[in-house]
Amino acid sequence: MIMLYFVPTPIGNLKDMTYRGVEVLKAVNLILAEDTRVSGKLLKNYGIQTPMIAYHQHNEHSLTDKIIERLNNSEDIALITDAGTPGISDPGFLLSRTCAEHGLKMTCLPGATAFVPALVTSGLPNDKFAFEGFLPPKKGRQKRLKLLKNEVRTMIFYESPYKVLKTLKDFKSTFGGERLISISREISKLYEETKHGSIDELLDLFTTQNPKGEFVIIVKGLG
């Protein structure tokens, strides 16, 4: 059966790659990679020699129709990103939507994604949660936060080390300094750590401690 595969890749430790993920990447006709230089290291590590081309936010609109054509011509194709599950704050949605519109078969393999381990180790309610990903960098940021002010579910955010302090300050203005949060960084890597506390406490911590690594911030909902 001709298929588009969304294949999760490790977010840190290369051993987090699944056996099935390796099998699929070896078997398909083509791999779409967010950054071929990054993915090339992963493929080399697992002896995967499948042809690979770049597919990312800057070229996905121009390439998607060509990919659909190749799927219609009986080619199996896999999409991977630099780290984690394609489509979760990474390229993948446009291709998924287009395949659905054309009635093409798709499957997403289970595997690595940053927010799940961060949520599980946060110590905050995880029976219901809202995944927000990255906040808008400028336009729409305050509007989005205003909409979330009364959110009762646990909220999940991604953030870069360069914007952690700004985001924590925005959270304090929106949710108040006493709101409980959890911050995880470098998940599945050598220096993985998770910090728990109030917004004020972790704001103080990262004011004195230089933020490094990619961050997942979990914010307790209202109530």
pLDDT per residue over 169-198, tens digit each? 999 999 999 999 999 999 999 999 999 999
Beta bridge partners of 99: none
Give 4's contacts (C-beta < 8 A, 6+ positions apart): 67, 71, 76, 77, 78, 79, 95, 99, 104, 105, 106, 107
**pLDDT tens, residue by residue, 111-160:** 999 999 999 999 999 999 999 999 998 889 999 999 999 999 999 999 99
Give the CA diameter of the chain. 57
Nearest CA-CA partner of 194 in 90, 99, 120, 88: 120
Q: Where are the beta strands (DSSP E) in 20-139?
A: 30-33, 52-54, 77-80, 106-108, 129-133
Q: Which pair of structure tokens corresponds to residue 3?
A: 């298929």
Q: What is the pLDDT of residue 1?
A: 63
Domains defined along the chain, listed by start? 4-108 (3.40.1010.10), 115-219 (3.30.950.10)
SS3 188: coil
pTM above 0.85, yes or no: yes
Q: What is the pLDDT of residue 145?
A: 97
Mapping DSSP onto H, E and C, the string for 61-73 reads HHHHHHHHHHHHC
